[in-house]
Amino acid sequence: MRTRLSIAVLLAWMAPSTAPALEFVEGKLQVHGFASQAVLKSTDNDYYGNSPGTSFDFTEIGLNASYQSTPSLLFSGQLLVRKAGGMYDGTPSLDYGLVDFTPISDAERRLGVRLGRIKNPFGLYNETRDVPFTRPGIFLPQVIYYDKVRNLLLSYDGVMLYGDRYLDQGNLSLNLGVGQSVIDNNVEWAYLGGDFEGDLRAEGINWGIGSLWFSTPADEIKLGLSAIVTEMDFNARPESLLSPGTIDVFDWVASFQYNAADWTISSEYSRAPTRWNDLGPYFPFKDQVMEGYYLQGAYRLRPNLEIMARYEEGFANRSDRNGWGSSDLTGGTTPRFDFFSKIWTLGLRWDINPNLMFRLEFQRHDGTYALSIRENPDPSNLVREWDVFGASVSVRF
């Protein structure tokens, strides 16, 4: 893997600085790709692999293509190879694959429908979270864009209606979707606290996937409200410690961003009322409201050099922000700091050329709520205060 990435970096360095996407069939077919490799070192806790011993287990390779069959009909998809510690093993997967039909599109409005595996229009970054060049850092704010349940937030299989209205004051955008969430083992670990005998899967159709956005004509200001409603069913086997039950999650986020010539301010606030139903006496949680928010600033020292600072806080239960009540529900086996995270981040981005990017990042953590339980299954080994140093190199064409 590292050899292939080194070759990609060398090719990107030698490529013209304005290299376009590959185009075929008279410009109707476009192909893009990217690759990214990070190295991480933490003082404690496993963060995308064995980070206390230095981890190279955060790798992303993507290939996407789009075909504009007619002015109103687009086919688009992306394959992704993602290695992320113990959460994702690098097996190729379909990130998204859809048909986009836009019967109405002019200077005043646009109306269309998408069908297939569709990215959730959730917050500022979810739709583009897989492309390293579109993220504000090596990692997104983990108190909202949880990588530990990435696939649940990322996309769904179904249909989406979308519309845009272009006004003198700005642009309005509305997305409404219906479909079924993508559930994997990471979701089970995050919401059940372990890998129990049985299967966690989407329960029927998830309604309420959507977003409403307003942006000024030149995108100086962006305001948004987006939400995902997820219903999951746990089909417990007879030998399981848990009983058959359901999990209901309503995750919403309010977003704000201000863009100026040399700097960008972003902030988001999220709540996720969550209910666990009929999972039996051995499961301690019933109802809680997860909460997360952050404030982030980026300043461009030069067009190709940017510094970023961010502070974020996240809580498993906003009514128990110090974690004492949640810890008591587990009989004290899980420390209270596993139910909150407070994170300072400082980052540097250097675009060596438009196709090659280098990042450095430092994070200071208080609490372990942002960590994956799957990577840190023994709560007695967790350390409350810990640091992460990261570096990454990314290429694209």
Paired with 232 in beta bridges are 202, 247
Domain ranges across the chain: 96-396
Q: Residue 22: what pLDDT?
A: 56
Contacts of 172 (CB under 8 A, 6+ apart): 164, 165, 212, 213, 214
Burial bucket for residue 107 (CB in 10 Å: 0-12, 13-18, 19+): exposed
Q: How high does pLDDT run on average in the chain?
A: 91
**pLDDT per residue as tens digits for the range 267-318:** 999 999 999 999 999 899 999 999 999 999 999 999 999 999 999 999 999 9
CB-based contact 352:17 (threshold 8 Å): no
Type of residue numbered 74:
L
The alpha carbon dihedral of 153, 354, 395, 66 has a sign of: positive
Task: Give the strand pairing for 88-89 and 221-236.
Answer: unpaired
Q: Residue 24: what pLDDT?
A: 55
- The CA radius of gyration of the chain, in Å to the nearest whole number, is 21
Selection from 44, 61, 62 nearest residue 53 by Cα: 44
Return the half-sphere exposure (C-beta side, CA atoms, 13 A cut-off) of residue 191.
Answer: 33
Q: Residue 14 above 50 pLDDT?
A: no
Q: Residue 4: what pLDDT?
A: 43
Q: Residue 34 above 70 pLDDT?
A: yes
Q: Residue 23: what pLDDT?
A: 52
Q: Residue 359 above 60 pLDDT?
A: yes
Among 38-47, 95-104, 234-243, name the one with the lowest average pLDDT.
234-243
DSSP state of 127: G
- Could you tell me the fold of the domain covering 96-396? Porin (2.40.160)
Task: State the alpha helices, DSSP H only, in 15-65.
Answer: none
Say how far apart CA 295 and CA 266 lie, in whole Å. 6
The alpha carbon dihedral of 322, 325, 326, 330 has a sign of: positive
Model-level pTM? 0.91
**pLDDT per residue as tens digits for the range 334-354:** 999 999 999 999 999 999 999
Task: Give the strand pairing for 155-166 and 171-181.
Answer: antiparallel
CB-based contact 373:146 (threshold 8 Å): no
- Which pLDDT band, with edges at 50, 70 and 90, does 27 fall under? low
Contacts of 251 (CB under 8 A, 6+ apart): 122, 153, 227, 228, 229, 230, 270, 271, 272, 290
